[in-house]
Amino acid sequence: MGSVGKVPANRPGRSIGKRKRSLFGVLCALPAAILFVVFILLPSINVFRMSLFTWSGFSDNSTFVGLQNFKILFKDMKFVQSFGNTLLLLVIVTCITLPVAVIFASIMVQNKIKGGSLLRFILYIPNVLSAVVIAAMFSAIYDQNTGLVNGTLGFLGLDALKRVWLGDQKIVIYSVAFAMIWQSVGYYMVMYMSAMTGIDREIYEAAQIDGAGKARQLFSITLPLIWSNIRTTLTFFIMSSVNLSFVLVKAMTGGGPDNSSQVLLGYMYDQAYTNSSYGYGMAIGVIIFIFSFVLSLVVSRVTWRPKLAN
């Protein structure tokens, strides 16, 4: 009698319902999976395959050469210089952009600034602009004769500091770096502000009672509690900077003068599509892929910290 009215655990209807839900989930994910395979996975495999051939990219004649492209690559001083420029940009832009974004975000969240919403909007605008538009703006700003930088220096009587900002081999890469920093700071500031607003205000009040100043609160409370956000954005920022550097350099300097501002993606593009050395260009693409993958792993490992609860 005790078993009367009990529902069997594995009813046919329940199993059918699970299968339908699983099928629905598969059907929803299928379009994204197809797009991933067609536009990301297969092209990536083709890059690795074509790096083993010599091919102009405009004919049916291709010759298998194995690792010959890679042997040439590491003896190519222009490639080495492009690699060094990319690393330099990543170090400079990352080490300035993210700390500045954190400081700005902390100031905006911790202090009631008059017109804070307008200031936040102004700082975010560069991220909305196209990279090509930013390149055009800074090309005008850096213009030797009519640019804002040299014009301001002349107005202040500092003519000795005037430079050909995009034509001097020693400073051109730093000019590009400043444009990248200007474009990125506002976006990451907004992201960190969102993370900081989730921190319990009582923690700051208790720290203030204990005599902790703003700087101590930033390093002892804010940074540890938003570290997971910083860690995520750090990896994303480094990868996106590789792409952004290509667009800005291509539009602002074309890699010049004398390859002094060339970056990895720009050199790959020139070899594959300008110099008709498609296989060699794909070999550079393989190096970029490996470099990005290894860098992501290193950054993820170095920045790992136990997650703290608010």
87 assigned to some structural domain: yes
Residue 126 pLDDT exceeds 80: yes
pLDDT tens figures, 249-299: 999 999 989 999 999 999 999 998 888 789 999 999 999 999 988 998 998
Averaged pLDDT for residues 219-242: 89
Pairing state of beta strands 62-64 and 53-55?
Answer: antiparallel
pLDDT of res. 81: 94
Averaged pLDDT for residues 188-198: 91
pLDDT of res. 120: 83
Measured between alpha carbons, how far is 175 from 178 in angstroms, rounded to an integer?
A: 5
pLDDT of res. 1: 46
pLDDT tens figures, 142-182: 999 889 999 999 999 999 999 999 999 999 999 999 999 99
pLDDT tens figures, 64-95: 998 999 999 989 999 999 999 999 999 999 99
pLDDT of res. 309: 62
Q: Which of 172, 176, 151 is nearest to 162 (CA)?
A: 151
Contacts with 107 (C-beta within 8 Å, 6 or more apart), sequence order: 113
pLDDT of res. 6: 53
Averaged pLDDT for residues 195-218: 87
Q: What is the CATH number of the domain that holds 169?
A: 1.10.3720.10
pLDDT of res. 14: 65
Contacts with 293 (C-beta within 8 Å, 6 or more apart), sequence order: none
Share of the chain above pLDDT 90, in %: 52
197 assigned to some structural domain: yes
**How many structural domains comprise the chain?**
1
132 assigned to some structural domain: yes
Return mean pLDDT, the chain: 88
35 assigned to some structural domain: no
DSSP per residue, the chain: -TTTTPPPTT-HHHHHHHHHHHHHHHHHHHHHHHHHIIIIIHHHHHHHHHTTEEE-SSSS-EEE-TTHHHHHHTT-HHHHHHHHHHHHHHHHHHHHHHHHHHHHHHHHHHS--TTHHHHHHHHHHHHHS-HHHHHHHHHHHT-TTT-HHHHHHHHTT-GGG---TTT-TTTHHHHHHHHHHHHHHHHHHHHHHHHHTTS-HHHHHHHHHTT--HHHHIIIIIHHHTHHHHHHHHHHHHHHHHHHHHHHHHHHTTT-STTTT--HHHHHHIIIIISS-HHHHHHHHHHHHHHHHHHHHHHHHHT--PPPP-
Q: Which of 240, 233, 264 is nearest to 250 (CA)?
A: 264
194 assigned to some structural domain: yes
Q: Which of 252, 89, 244 is nearest to 166 (CA)?
A: 252
Q: Which of 144, 174, 138, 140 is nearest to 162 (CA)?
A: 144
Strand partners, 62: 55
Q: Which domain, by its residues, includes 189?
A: 68-302
214 assigned to some structural domain: yes
284 assigned to some structural domain: yes
18 assigned to some structural domain: no
